[in-house]
Amino acid sequence: MDVHRPPRRPHAWWLFLAVSQSIVFAIWWRYGWRIGLPVLLLSHLPFVWGTLWPRSRLFAPVLARLPTDEPCVWLTIDDGPSDDTPALLDMLEAHGAKATFFLVGERAAARPQLVREIARRGHGIGNHSATHPSAWFWALGPRRMRAEIERCQAVLQELTDVTPRWFRAVVGMANPFVSAPLRDLSLARAAWSTRGFDAVDGDPAAIVARIERGLSPGAIVLLHEGARHGRNVETIGLLLQRLDALGYRTVLPEELDFTSMLVGAATERRPV
């Protein structure tokens, strides 16, 4: 099963908007504002949910879990590169673990050697916007949204000669204008299935306990680097120890696709 699914019809939401607002107009015209106004507000709730809920597929496909029954997880590390990156790379290597680093374009441009080292060590590199406008990413218009995604993609490609295949929305919130640039760049959107709020919480034990409650085969784990509390490296180290103890291995989605292809080919060749 190919889990990499860029948007195919990025403007389909316009049809839903046109139909829903036509119905609202008809109700307002027939029954007046006392009925029309509540209906208008209700008609916008799907768009609010689609924007603010990180796993919403209203505007585009979103991967929130790997389709596998094997005890494996996809580690994703947001907001780098940072001062934490070298230690994280060494720690992942010591545990034989792989992760995808969702990098911010301007931070990558400022630390190109770290970006190249991430790629050299065989980890994934994902697009996490050019400037990481955490307060307003969900509300960006089409031009600024496209610029955020395209500029980050260009920086990462130039630094690594690798084309990122995955995009993660800032704070996980993505409005309808995300889909068109993702389609044009063949980017698929990744969310998560478990997180520990390590961007704001500096207690490694509490963070790992939260993540563990959401662990299951195919879980996508949301992690961060470079947080102000300075304990991301310690937290990820503790998580790697816990994953080892629980018998979980780490996998990149590209590896999972490749493994599935090999299994399918072997099944086709097996004599009956």
- What is the set of active-site residues? 78, 224
- The answer for residues whose C-beta is within 8 angstroms of residue 204's C-beta and 6 or more apart is 231, 234, 235, 238
DSSP state, residue 60: S
3-class state of residue 239 by DSSP: helix
Asked, as a colleague might, if the bond just before 176 is cis with ω within 30 of 0, I would say: no
Q: Is the distance from CB of 229 to CB of 198 less than 8 angstroms?
A: no
3-class state of residue 211 by DSSP: helix
Q: Is the distance from CB of 77 to CB of 102 less than 8 angstroms?
A: yes
Question: What number of residues does the chain have?
Answer: 272
- Measured between alpha carbons, how far is 26 from 3 in angstroms, rounded to an integer? 41
